[in-house]
C-alpha cells in the first residue's frame, strides 16, 4: 500500500486507477470490501459515480475494528432462530393462524434466556426482593441490563428470519383486564383502533409531563415513569397494557425452515443412537439394549402407539395396585382387630402374627410401624 501517491482533493477516475496508485491488487466481491475497509483506516473519501475524491488523509491509521464485539450475538442467532421457528410452526399447526403476538417476556422465556421466575417477577420485583433478600435497586438494575441485552439478541434473530422472507414483525401492544372475582388476567392483542388510542394517549401524556419523548421519561427516573404509566392507564378503556411483537409468518416459508430444523435434529439423533450403541457395546440387534434404543432414542423407529399403550397400561396397573392395596388393608385390619379384641396377646401369638403378616408383604418399614402400634396397644392395656 502506497499512501504517498494520493493527496487531499485528488479526483481518481475509478477503483482500478486507485488500486494502481495504491500499488494494490484489483479485487472483487468480499475481498474488495475488505480492501476498502482497510483503506478507510488510512484516508477518507467520497464517491461521485465511479470517481473517488480524497477528503482526508490521516496522520496515524485508525485502529482496526474489533469485529468480535459486533458479532458477540451471532453465536446465539442460529439457536434462537431455530427455537422461534419451531415454536411458531407449532402455533400455526394448533391454531391455523399465521399471526403470533408475543411480549418480550414471553420471547425471553420461549428462547430459554431465563426461566419462568424471570417472567413472573418482571412485575413482582418487590416480592422477589423480599424472598431473595436482595436490594430492590439491584433487582431493577439487573432486569434493565438483561432485558436490554436479551431484546437486542432476539431482534437480531427476528431480522435474520425477516431477511430470508420467513416472517415480518412490528411493534404492537397487549391489552389486559383484571378479573378480580376469578383472580385472573384476560389478555389479548390490541386492535388497530386500540393501538391508535394508546399512541394518542401516550402522546398527550408526554405533553402533560412536559416531555418530548420516552427517552426524557426514562431519564426522569422510575417514580416518574410509574406515575406516567398510571396516568395513561387511567385514560384507557382497560386495566393495563404492555408492548409486544406482532409476528406475521409465511406458512410455507415457516414449514421449509421447520424441515431444516428437523433435519438438524435427525443428524443429532443419528449421532445419539451411535453413541448409545457404543456405550452398550451392542453386537446383537435383538438385545434388550438395542430394542430400547430403537423404541426410546430413535426418531426413525418412534411409534406413538407405544406412548398410548404405556398410558393405558399405567392406568390399568394403577387400578390393580389400589385394588390390591385395599384388599390388603382390609385383611390387615381384620387380623389387627382379632388380636386387639383379645384380653391378652402372648409372645407366641405375637410371633405368629408377625410371621403371618410379614410373609405377605416385603415392606419392612410399614410392617415394623404396624407391629409397633399393636405392641404399644398391648402395653397400654
SS (HEC) of 87-139: HHHHHHHHHCCCEEEEEHHHHHHHHCCCCHHHHHHHHCHHHHHHHHCCCHHHH
Give the whole-angstrom CA distance, residue 97 versus residue 249.
9
* Grid cell listed for 3: 499512501
Which among 22, 46, 64 is the end of a domain?
A: 64
Closest CA to 203 of 190, 219, 188, 214: 214
Judged against a pLDDT cut of 90, whether residue 231 lies above it is answered with yes
Asked whether residue 53 is domain-assigned, the answer is yes
Judged against a pLDDT cut of 70, whether residue 253 lies above it is answered with yes
- Asked if 234 and 273 count as a contact pair (C-beta separation under 8 A), the reply is no
Per the model's pLDDT, the better-predicted residue between 74 and 199 turns out to be 199
Share of the chain above pLDDT 70, in %: 82
Three-state DSSP string of 27-39: CCHHHHHHHHHHH
Closest CA to 339 of 370, 312, 369: 370
Residues 36 and 136 in one domain: no
Contacts of 27 (CB under 8 A, 6+ apart): 35
Which among 64, 87, 114 is the end of a domain?
A: 64
Query: Tell me, what's the pLDDT at 243?
Result: 92
Judged against a pLDDT cut of 50, whether residue 362 lies above it is answered with no
Q: State mean pLDDT over 258-277.
A: 89
> What are the φ/ψ torsions at residue 168 (nearest 5 degrees)?
-130, 155
Q: State mean pLDDT over 148-162.
A: 91
Residues 275 and 376 in one domain: no
Query: Tell me, what's the pLDDT at 125?
Result: 85
In whole angstroms, how far apart are CA 275 and each of 80, 211, 230, 281? Answer: 26, 62, 57, 10
Asked whether residue 220 is domain-assigned, the answer is no
Residue 54, strand partner residues: 45
Judged against a pLDDT cut of 80, whether residue 352 lies above it is answered with no
Query: Tell me, what's the pLDDT at 356?
Result: 54
Give the whole-angstrom CA distance, residue 315 versus residue 79.
38
Residues 284 and 328 in one domain: no
Judged against a pLDDT cut of 50, whether residue 24 lies above it is answered with yes
Judged against a pLDDT cut of 50, whether residue 374 lies above it is answered with no
Closest CA to 12 of 2, 4, 24, 21: 21
Asked whether residue 135 is domain-assigned, the answer is yes
Closest CA to 249 of 94, 92, 103: 92
Reported as type and span, the H/E element at residue 55 is: strand 51-57
Query: Tell me, what's the pLDDT at 185?
Result: 84
Q: State mean pLDDT over 136-165.
A: 89
Query: Tell me, what's the pLDDT at 183?
Result: 74
Asked whether residue 92 is domain-assigned, the answer is yes
Query: Tell me, what's the pLDDT at 95?
Result: 93
Least confident interval from 57-66, 69-78, 148-157: 69-78
Reported as type and span, the H/E element at residue 172 is: strand 167-179
Domain count of the chain? 4
Best-predicted range by mean pLDDT among 94-103, 113-122, 286-295? Answer: 94-103
Q: pTM score, two decimals? A: 0.57
Q: State mean pLDDT over 229-242.
A: 91
Q: State mean pLDDT over 201-215.
A: 93
Asked whether residue 246 is domain-assigned, the answer is yes
How many C-beta neighbours within 10 Å does residue 154 have? 23
Owner of C-alpha cell 423407529: 301
Residues 183 and 261 in one domain: no
Query: Tell me, what's the pLDDT at 89?
Result: 94
Angle at Cα 368 formed by Cα 363 and Cα 371, nearest 5°? 125
Residues of the domain holding 33: 3-64
Residues 326 and 282 in one domain: no
Is residue 231 classed exposed, middle or buried when 0-12, 13-18 and 19+ CB atoms within 10 A define those classes? middle
Q: State mean pLDDT over 156-179.
A: 92
Per the model's pLDDT, the better-predicted residue between 344 and 98 turns out to be 98
* Grid cell listed for 282: 451392542
Give the whole-angstrom CA distance, residue 44 versus residue 52.
10
β-strand pairing of 51-57 with 43-48: antiparallel
Q: State mean pLDDT over 14-41.
A: 89
Round the average pLDDT of the chain to a whole number and report it: 82
Q: State mean pLDDT over 28-54.
A: 89
Residues 38 and 133 in one domain: no
Judged against a pLDDT cut of 70, whether residue 28 lies above it is answered with yes
- In the sheet with 184-189, reading across from the earlier edge strand, the strands are 99-103, 240-249, 167-179, 184-189
Owner of C-alpha cell 432476539: 154
Query: Tell me, what's the pLDDT at 297?
Result: 87
Query: Tell me, what's the pLDDT at 117?
Result: 85
Residues 52 and 78 in one domain: no
Residues 162 and 190 in one domain: yes
Residues 260 and 176 in one domain: no
- Asked if 40 and 31 count as a contact pair (C-beta separation under 8 A), the reply is no
Asked whether residue 230 is domain-assigned, the answer is no
Q: State mean pLDDT over 327-336.
A: 64
Residues 375 and 322 in one domain: yes
Contacts of 54 (CB under 8 A, 6+ apart): 6, 7, 8, 9, 10, 12, 43, 44, 45
Query: Tell me, what's the pLDDT at 308?
Result: 85
Residue length of the chain: 381
Least confident interval from 78-87, 232-241, 320-329: 320-329
Judged against a pLDDT cut of 50, whether residue 378 lies above it is answered with no
Asked whether residue 213 is domain-assigned, the answer is no
- DSSP for residue 190: P
Exposure class string for 60-90: b at 16+ Cβ within 10 A, else e = eeeeeeeeeeeeebeebbeebbbbbbbbbbe
Judged against a pLDDT cut of 80, whether residue 170 lies above it is answered with yes
Q: State mean pLDDT over 222-245.
A: 91
- Quote the radius of gyration of the chain (alpha carbons, Å): 36
Residues 316 and 281 in one domain: no
* Grid cell listed for 184: 385472573
Per the model's pLDDT, the better-predicted residue between 204 and 78 turns out to be 204
Judged against a pLDDT cut of 70, whether residue 236 lies above it is answered with yes
Give the whole-angstrom CA distance, residue 335 versus residue 331.
6
Residues 94 and 115 in one domain: yes
Asked whether residue 83 is domain-assigned, the answer is yes
Q: State mean pLDDT over 241-262.
A: 93
Amino acid at each position: 500500500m502506497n499512501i504517498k501517491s494520493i493527496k487531499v482533493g485528488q479526483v481518481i477516475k475509478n477503483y482500478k486507477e486507485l488500486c494502481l496508485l495504491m500499488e494494490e491488487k484489483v479485487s472483487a466481491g468480499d475481498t474488495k470490501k475488505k480492501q476498502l475497509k482497510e483503506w478507510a483506516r488510512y484516508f477518507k473519501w467520497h464517491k461521485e459515480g465511479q470517481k473517488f475524491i480524497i477528503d482526508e488523509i490521516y496522520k496515524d491509521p485508525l485502529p482496526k475494528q474489533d469485529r468480535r464485539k459486533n458479532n458477540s450475538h451471532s453465536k446465539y442467532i442460529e439457536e434462537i432462530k431455530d427455537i422461534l421457528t419451531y415454536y411458531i410452526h407449532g402455533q400455526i399447526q394448533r391454531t391455523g393462524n399465521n399471526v403470533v403476538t408475543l411480549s418480550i417476556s414471553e420471547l425471553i422465556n420461549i428462547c430459554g434466556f431465563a426461566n419462568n421466575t424471570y417472567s413472573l417477577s418482571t412485575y413482582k420485583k418487590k416480592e422477589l426482593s423480599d424472598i431473595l433478600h436482595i436490594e430492590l435497586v439491584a433487582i431493577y438494575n439487573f432486569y434493565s441490563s438483561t432485558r436490554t441485552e436479551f431484546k437486542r439478541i432476539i431482534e437480531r434473530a427476528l431480522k435474520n428470519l425477516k431477511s430470508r422472507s420467513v416472517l415480518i414483525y412490528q411493534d404492537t401492544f397487549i391489552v389486559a383486564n383484571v378479573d378480580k372475582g376469578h383472580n385472573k388476567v384476560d389478555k389479548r392483542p390490541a386492535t388497530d383502533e386500540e393501538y391508535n388510542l394508546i399512541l394518542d394517549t401516550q402522546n398527550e401524556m408526554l405533553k402533560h409531563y412536559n416531555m418530548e419523548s420516552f427517552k426524557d421519561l426514562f431519564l426522569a427516573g422510575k417514580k416518574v415513569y410509574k406515575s406516567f404509566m398510571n396516568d395513561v392507564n387511567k385514560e384507557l378503556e382497560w386495566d393495563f397494557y404492555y408492548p409486544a411483537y406482532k409476528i406475521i409468518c409465511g406458512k410455507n416459508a415457516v414449514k421449509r425452515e421447520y424441515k431444516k430444523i428437523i433435519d438438524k435434529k435427525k443428524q443429532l439423533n443419528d449421532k445419539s443412537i451411535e453413541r448409545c450403541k457404543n456405550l452398550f457395546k451392542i453386537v446383537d440387534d435383538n438385545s434388550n439394549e438395542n430394542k430400547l434404543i430403537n423404541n426410546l432414542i430413535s426418531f426413525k423407529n418412534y411409534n406413538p402407539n407405544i406412548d398410548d399403550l404405556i398410558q393405558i397400561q399405567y392406568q390399568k396397573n394403577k387400578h390393580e395396585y389400589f385394588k390390591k392395596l385395599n384388599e390388603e388393608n382390609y385383611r390387615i385390619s381384620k387380623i389387627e382387630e382379632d388380636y386387639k379384641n383379645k384380653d391378652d396377646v402372648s409372645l407366641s401369638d405375637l410371633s405368629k402374627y408377625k410371621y403371618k403378616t410379614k410373609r405377605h408383604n416385603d415392606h419392612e418399614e410399614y410392617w415394623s410401624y404396624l407391629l409397633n402400634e399393636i405392641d404399644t396397644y398391648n402395653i397400654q392395656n
